[in-house]
């Protein structure tokens, strides 16, 4: 049986199990709400598969990786991330078109990492062989995890948008965000203006999604902020595991500043626009829109 057929068979089996559990446990509005809430959580966890596995590797290797291992911990993380990515493609849990978008975000993130570490924004305290300009290659997979999540959650929750901004306008915002990550070291920081710009174009937009049988909706800007919040939580775990550290954490760990929440919100926009471009291209092939 081909990998695509295995995935479809698994999805049909999961749908059948969910319907069986619904019939067995949902008896009224309270249990219906509880079932939908659990279904939402399960789908989110499934969408976070790549990011969740990467986070588990960061924390697990910090706690248990042998200090005298011949393979550096950072190199182990890079090889493990490659293996996860290859497995997701082989089993069709991720499409090749999604992988190309994720790879683009990987490259975008790695370039920014090289610049930011050179500017002293954060450091990688451990040695490794698989690195570029002092940046271990596993770091790009942290950005790829964000792209993977957005690509998967879009498909799993059957996203539909109301008053979706023109893609060229979103691309203009994403370009401004990316450029500002570099230029604010030498010029005035434009992030407040970028926040305002994002609200102007995203505040009127609502995303419709399907956690269970019924379609729900929320403001797109709120959805992006909530995802950025969970990435900020994940970053706290990553710095606790010393996958990377900020200069203020070099002498001892403490929670990451809430200022970074705004940075992750802006970075989310770059990933969101890349995934939106993917879905527009796929939609055109299938005769549909975003």
Same domain, yes or no: 97 and 226: yes
Q: CB neighbours of 205 closer than 8 A, spacing ≥ 6?
A: 161, 162, 163, 164, 165, 219, 220, 221
| d(C-alpha 32, C-alpha 212), whole Å | 10
Same domain, yes or no: 79 and 130: yes
Same domain, yes or no: 129 and 218: yes
In a domain, 224, yes or no: yes
Higher pLDDT pick, 182 / 12:
182
| d(C-alpha 173, C-alpha 167), whole Å | 10
In a domain, 10, yes or no: yes
Same domain, yes or no: 228 and 178: yes
Same domain, yes or no: 55 and 43: no
Tokens describing residue 225? 């902020």
Same domain, yes or no: 43 and 89: no
In a domain, 290, yes or no: no
In a domain, 289, yes or no: no
pLDDT at 237: 96
- Tell me the average pLDDT across 110-123: 93
In a domain, 59, yes or no: yes
Same domain, yes or no: 177 and 191: yes
Q: Indicate the helix (H) or strand (E) that contains 4.
A: helix 3-25
In tens, the pLDDT along 132-174 reads 998 999 999 999 999 999 998 998 999 999 999 999 999 999 9
Please answer whether residues 228 and 177 qualify as being in contact, where contact means their C-beta atoms are separated by less than 8 angstroms.
Answer: no
Region label for 134, one of left (φ > 0), alpha (ψ between -120 and 50) or beta (otherwise) = left
Please give the tally of structural domains in the chain: 2
Kindly report the pTM of this predicted structure: 0.88
Tokens describing residue 82? 């490659």
| d(C-alpha 135, C-alpha 244), whole Å | 10
In a domain, 288, yes or no: no
Same domain, yes or no: 134 and 217: yes
| d(C-alpha 43, C-alpha 181), whole Å | 32
Q: What confidence category does residue 281 fall into, taking pLDDT thresholds of 50, 70 and 90?
A: low
In which residue are the tokens 């990377």 written? 244
pLDDT at 58: 96
In a domain, 56, yes or no: yes
Q: What confidence category does residue 8 fall into, taking pLDDT thresholds of 50, 70 and 90?
A: low
In a domain, 195, yes or no: yes
pLDDT at 1: 44
Same domain, yes or no: 135 and 102: yes
Same domain, yes or no: 101 and 146: yes
Q: Is the pLDDT of residue 265 over 80?
A: yes
- Tell me the average pLDDT across 42-48: 92
Same domain, yes or no: 150 and 23: no
Q: What is the domain range of residue 55?
A: 50-283
- Rounded to the nearest 10 degrees, the angle between the axes of helix 96-118 and helix 73-90 is 160
Q: CB neighbours of 112 closer than 8 A, spacing ≥ 6?
A: 178, 181, 182
135-136/160-162 β-pairing? unpaired
244 closest CA partner among 146, 143, 108: 143
Same domain, yes or no: 166 and 240: yes
- Tell me the average pLDDT across 206-231: 94
């Amino acid at each position: 049986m081909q990998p695509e057929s295995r995935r479809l068979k698994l999805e049909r089996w999961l749908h059948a199990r969910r319907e069986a559990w619904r019939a067995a446990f949902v008896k009224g509005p309270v249990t219906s709400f509880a079932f939908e809430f659990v279904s939402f959580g399960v789908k989110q966890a499934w969408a976070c598969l790549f990011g969740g596995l990467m986070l588990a590797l960061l924390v697990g290797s910090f706690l248990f990786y042998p200090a005298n291992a011949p393979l550096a911990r950072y190199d182990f993380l890079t090889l493990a991330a490659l293996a996860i990515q290859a497995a997701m493609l082989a089993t069709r849990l991720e499409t090749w078109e999604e992988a190309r978008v994720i790879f683009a975000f990987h490259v975008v993130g790695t370039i920014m990492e090289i610049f930011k570490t050179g500017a002293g924004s954060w450091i990688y305290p451990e040695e490794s062989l698989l690195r570029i300009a002092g940046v271990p290659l596993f770091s790009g997979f942290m950005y790829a995890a964000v792209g993977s999540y957005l690509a998967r959650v879009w498909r799993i929750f059957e996203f539909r948008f109301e008053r979706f901004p023109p893609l060229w306008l979103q691309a203009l915002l994403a370009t401004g965000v990316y450029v500002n990550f570099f230029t604010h070291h030498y010029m005035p920081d434009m992030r407040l203006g970028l926040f305002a710009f994002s609200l102007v174009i995203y505040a009127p937009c609502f995303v419709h999604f399907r956690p269970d049988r019924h379609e729900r909706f929320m403001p797109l800007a709120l959805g992006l902020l909530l995802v950025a919040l969970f990435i900020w939580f994940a970053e706290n775990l990553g710095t606790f595991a010393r996958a990377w550290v900020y200069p203020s954490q070099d002498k001892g760990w403490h929670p990451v500043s809430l200022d970074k929440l705004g940075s992750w919100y802006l970075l989310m926009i770059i990933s969101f626009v890349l995934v939106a471009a993917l879905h527009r291209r796929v939609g055109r092939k299938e005769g549909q829109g975003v």
